[in-house]
Amino acid sequence: MQQASSLAAVPAVSPTEAVRPWALAEVLALYDLPLIDLVWRAQGVHRENFDPNAIQRSTLLSVKTGGCSEDCSYCSQSARYDTDTERERLMPLDQVIAAAQAAKAKGASRFCMGAAWKGPKDNDLDRVLDMVREVKALGMQTCVTLGMLKEGQAEKLKDAGLDYYNHNLDTDKEFYGQVIKTHTQDDRLDTLDQVRDAGINVCSGGIIGMGESRKNRAALIVQLANMPQPPESVPINNLVPIPGTPMADTARLDPFEFVRTIAAARITMPKSWVRLSAGRQEMSDELQALCFLAGANSMFYGDFLLTTGNPDADRDDALFARLGIKAI
């Protein structure tokens, strides 16, 4: 594989051509491009593979909140940190159905249910399976994020009609141990293998702005892009600093570095949906438009993510109208 060590060495990829495996130096060279060149190139790849004026919208619901055994340093839901997040038990089925109906009425095409677990116990999973069946019956795409899966659980989710499983690699292997100590990135990869083997679409991305280096960010993109089959959906989250967590005072990432990360994801994973995820509430409309120009074509829609806010649906509707974007 050619190692790109200078701008001249960035391979001139035909937009439709997926170049894999990606070398870290190649992706770092993408990050080093002038922003306009990088965004231009990402937009070219985007247009070859997607309608550039269409954005997929998913609504999130936290079906089990807080009290998680894991120590992820960014998370409001870890039992180890003193945050404002109140613990809540697994939500009753009728409340989940009502929330999904409301999301559908507002125009979301996918409903994502999140649980603050290391992984689901079998009896909890049975209740989530009912949620998946009922949401699917509404005619929506279904997604869950439940933590690490044990053998057989992915197949049960598939049988219930699950379309996507979200499980983020979150950060580069080298940086992972500085963020999370209660499990390893290999544990997460194991769950992703199970999801893939069960025939469920994979949704996996990460968080940036946690104090990682550009090299760490590029390495995460390389890892995702070089999977035997890249994730169908790649959420790029900007850290939402949560008071009480070890990351509460982390310095804010340069927004253009966020845009570069979206562009790098788009170029290296031409066929994947790249999701502009957490952190959107703090972004201006102009910055979001730049992210769409760089190839983001999916987002969370609705006033809440899991425990933090998201732009009001009305603000998003107005933004789409101003940009001439259609929701899908």
What SS3 state is found at 114? strand
- Active-site residue, selected from the candidate residues 41, 57, 75, 217: 75
* Closest residue by Cα to residue 90 from 61, 59, 47: 61
Q: Is the peptide bond before 21 cis (omega within 30 degrees of 0)?
A: yes
Contact 300, 283 (CB under 8 A): no
Q: Which of ligand DTB, ligand SF4, ligand SAM, none has residue 263 at its interface (CB below 5 to 8 Å by kind)? A: none
Q: Which of ligand SF4, ligand SAM, ligand DTB, none has residue 265 at its interface (CB below 5 to 8 Å by kind)? A: none
* Selected range binding ligand SAM among 110-118, 192-200, 220-228, 263-271, rule: CB under 6 A: 110-118
List 55, 63, 134, 147, residue binding ligand SF4 (CB under 6 A): 147
Q: Which two tokens stand for residue 112?
A: 């994502």
What b/e string do you get for 177-195 counting C-beta neighbours within 10 Å, with b at 16 or more? eebbeebebeebbebbebb
Q: Counting contacts by CB under 6 A, is residue 246 touching ligand DTB? A: no
- Active-site residue, selected from the candidate residues 68, 196, 217, 260: 68
Alpha-helix residue ranges (DSSP H) falling in 198-254: 214-225
List 49, 83, 141, 168, residue binding ligand DTB (CB under 6 A): 168
* Closest residue by Cα to residue 273 from 109, 151, 145, 121: 109
Contact 202, 154 (CB under 8 A): no
Which residues between 97 and 116 bind ligand SF4 (CB under 6 A)? 116
List 45, 68, 222, 227, residue binding ligand SF4 (CB under 6 A): 68
Q: Counting contacts by CB under 6 A, is residue 72 touching ligand SF4? A: yes
157: amino acid identity, one letter? L
Q: Counting contacts by CB under 6 A, is residue 216 touching ligand DTB? A: no
| 112/132 Cα distance (integer angstroms) | 9
List 23, 157, 200, 278, residue binding ligand SAM (CB under 6 A): 278
User: Contact residues for ligand DTB (CB under 6 A)?
Assistant: 60, 76, 114, 145, 166, 168, 205, 235, 237, 240, 277-278, 305-308
Active site residues: 68, 72, 75, 112, 143, 203, 275
